[in-house]
Structure 1
Amino acid sequence: MTDCGSRYYLTINKRCVKVPVALSSMAGITDASYALLRKENIGIAFIGGFSVDEPTMNAGAKMADEGRHEFICGDPVSCIRDEVKKFEGSDVICGINIRGTSPKSYLDVYSAVGKDVIYEVDAHCRQEAMINAGAGEYLLKNTDTLADIVRALNEAGAYVSVKFRAGVSSNDSSLARLLWKAGADILHVDLMDFGSSKLKEIRNSCPLKIIANNSMNTFERVKEMFSHGADMVSLARNADNETLERLRVSIEEYADESGWYNAPKQLCRGGDLRGLAFCCMPIKQCPLIPALKKTGMSPKKFHDLKVSLAENTPLSSGESTCFGSLVWCCKSSTPCMFRDISLKQAGLSHQEYMRLKRRLSEGIIEKVFDERSEEESC
């Protein structure tokens, strides 16, 4: 059996993710017992949301009185700690979705629970009581507070996710960059009325892990999200074991068949910046040139970067290809006789080729955002 490390190469909080499907939090529903009933088909479970300070606890009580499901705990920190302990011995990574109004609210939970879980800042709840308390979507309109929370958790040593709904902030690209700079590790994005173009916009704005949420209950939808920048998908209302198992099996089969489960579309076909791994030499007017301009990378620098990243790897071979090296070749799903001849000569399968392209993409993206970070700090 193929282990998760060689299938997805996906690590979250220093743990291998066995399947890139997560449970999203649902107030009053998603707890450890709920998650562990689905443990065979998920990689991460975000439990909660948990209200952890006086303003959010009061808001949660009001929402419960109005008929909503809520986790009502007299001592929320102890409640969370007890829930987290139930995941011990499980291969499901636990995340805690937290509703708080200040950095201290989150740090109090972190000091009691420790580093082994993901701390998810709930900037997603749109209930009026929670917004008026200064949590949930309030944080998307008051991003200085949101950034302060993320920064405090990061500096304390926590692995941080931020859950938010696309289109609520005035600019999702700016929000993504802000959260990246503040120290977030994951963006958990409810795409709501948006499709893959919004996901690509966020993907091209930061190098963080991205979990796509909302209506991820068919493999076709999941595959579309993977090809536009998602590292994982998450489910809430449709997270029954039948649906989850169907997704898990389909993703596993696709990963084993393709070699890169969330390979991007090629740039010339609407792909995100990860598709730079499939671009040919920058010698003609095509979507590569404006993409490079947006990254601030010159064509020569891009050329030299790809050559250096391919050095001493099988991608540097391929004399029969259009540009004399597999580093400039397209995605394996695109028919190309010359690429396939070179792969055969190098003894590479399509799956091995795509795994090499994935590593190439990681190197390119790392360089792109390292340089962007330096430019923004100047």
Structure 2
Amino acid sequence: MMDAFGRFGLTINNRVVRTPLAIASMAGIVDARYVIERKDHIGVAFIGGYAVDRPTMDAAREIAHDGTRTEFLYDDPVKALSAEIALLNSTDLVTGINLRGSSPDSFARIADAFGDDVVYEIDAHCRQAPMVAAGAGEHYLNNPEELVAVVRTLKTKKVTVSVKMRVGVAADDRALARKLWKAGADILHIDLMDSGITKLRQIRNSCPLVIIANNSVTTFDRMREMLSHGADLVSLARQSDIDTLAGLDAAISRYADAEGWYNSPKQLCRGGDIRALTFCCMPVKECPLIPVLSRIGLSRDEYVRLKLDSVKGTPLDGGPNTCFASLAWCCKTSSPCMFRDMTLANEGLSKKEYMRRKRELSATIMSRVFHDVPSDESG
């Protein structure tokens, strides 16, 4: 597992994530057995969704009764979940349980039963009419104050909280992301629907939470598109067959080993998210960097000081023959630059190590940008 941490640097719920691939919940389908069959090619699994109180259990039965969808049906959610979690404890996966509940107390009872052994995923995603009418699923996206209350209640139990949501339902996805960050959520599991990467980039630029991107991830190109616009992981649902997962796992491992930063962003001037500030040059001309600095509340001078102070004493500190006399201002290795490459050769710094250092710089910048949890007034 240390190799996995060195490769991806990912931890969730205080456990190393083996690969940035997750299985998303599918009601009536994704249980421990389903996950164990695929365990060699994933890092995280969200089983469920599981109804955890009377209103949602009744809704699950109503959905199953019409014959168009399957559901997990039981009378005792704690007993049902205990059996599933016990099976998954034999794996090295990060286990999440996707829960459909109609009140904060319903989620709290499950957290009391299982403590910090699992990630608790609030299902704000299901759009089946009976479940929404029961006060779960998409009901929460239309009533964000109720979703925030569930997050806050779960966080009093000192557990890791994920929110599964689809974009385009809430009035403002960016504002909702910030509200969930303030409430204490740890993970946003986002079904991008047909919005492409635009919404993903907007949400990445709005909060520092772990982001799992979901929707039509069937090829490595699609996976990299998600990762390069803000995702930390991607998840698969209907396409989570073993062959697809194995191919994606192998491809992202090869990419990380070769490039040094598995989810490196596109450069800011090419549509990247704010992690790409690590690749930006000095703010000496009008370019996409300037309005981004304004939006995140950094003056040009503060930005310059932040980058130079952050690389002091590191291999990125040098580079007198580069455009701005420091590798701190140099671009991504996918962009040709003879001055950067000459400097790397002179310093004995591989492109992989350079990108790893750029990732560290990006993390420092992100910590500065998202240092303060948003106030009520900021949305």
Secondary structure of residue in 2 paired with 1:315: coil
> 1:3 matched to which residue of 2?
3
How far is the alpha carbon of 1:373 from its aligned partner? 3.4
> 2:71 matched to which residue of 1?
70
> 1:41 matched to which residue of 2?
41
> 2:234 matched to which residue of 1?
233
- Amino acid of the structure 1 residue aligned with 2:217: M
How far is the alpha carbon of 1:198 from its aligned partner? 1.1
Change (3 A) 1:136 1:372: closer
Indicate whether 1:51 and 2:51 are aligned: yes
> 1:182 matched to which residue of 2?
183
The CA deviation string for residues 132-163 of structure 1, in whole angstroms up to 9 with x for no partner, is: 00000000011111000001111210100000
The CA deviation string for residues 174-219 of structure 1, in whole angstroms up to 9 with x for no partner, is: 0110111111111000011110111101110100000010101111
The CA deviation string for residues 100-146 of structure 1, in whole angstroms up to 9 with x for no partner, is: 01111011001101102110000000000000000000000111110
Secondary structure of residue in 1 paired with 2:95: strand
> 1:245 matched to which residue of 2?
246
Paired with 2:72 and 2:375, the residues of 1 have a C-alpha distance of 43
Is the 8 Å Cα contact of residues 181 and 373 (structure 2) preserved in structure 1? no
The CA deviation string for residues 333-369 of structure 1, in whole angstroms up to 9 with x for no partner, is: 1111111111112211000000000010000011001
The CA deviation string for residues 305-337 of structure 1, in whole angstroms up to 9 with x for no partner, is: 111110111110111111110001000111111
Aligned ranges 1:1-378 → 2 under 5 Å = 3-67=3-67, 68-371=69-372, 373=374
The CA deviation string for residues 248-294 of structure 1, in whole angstroms up to 9 with x for no partner, is: 11111111111101000010111000000000111111100000000
Secondary structure of residue in 2 paired with 1:290: helix
Is the 8 Å Cα contact of residues 295 and 372 (structure 1) preserved in structure 2? no
Paired with 1:367 and 1:268, the residues of 2 have a C-alpha distance of 21
- Amino acid of the structure 2 residue aligned with 1:184: A
How far is the alpha carbon of 1:70 from its aligned partner? 0.4
Paired with 1:366 and 1:33, the residues of 2 have a C-alpha distance of 39
The CA deviation string for residues 71-98 of structure 1, in whole angstroms up to 9 with x for no partner, is: 0011011111221111123111110000
Paired with 1:375 and 1:288, the residues of 2 have a C-alpha distance of 28
User: Among the aligned pairs, what percent are the same residue?
Assistant: 55
Paired with 1:319 and 1:376, the residues of 2 have a C-alpha distance of 45
- Amino acid of the structure 2 residue aligned with 1:11: T
TM-score by length of 1: 0.98
Paired with 1:126 and 1:180, the residues of 2 have a C-alpha distance of 23
Gaps spanning 5+ residues in structure 2: where?
none
Secondary structure of residue in 2 paired with 1:257: helix
- Amino acid of the structure 1 residue aligned with 2:71: E
Alignment RMSD, CA only?
1.4
Is the 8 Å Cα contact of residues 46 and 98 (structure 2) preserved in structure 1? yes
Gaps spanning 5+ residues in structure 1: where?
none
- Amino acid of the structure 1 residue aligned with 2:29: I
- Amino acid of the structure 2 residue aligned with 1:301: E
Paired with 1:34 and 1:342, the residues of 2 have a C-alpha distance of 50
Paired with 2:374 and 2:192, the residues of 1 have a C-alpha distance of 26
Paired with 2:207 and 2:169, the residues of 1 have a C-alpha distance of 18
TM-score by length of 2: 0.98
Q: How many residues align?
A: 378
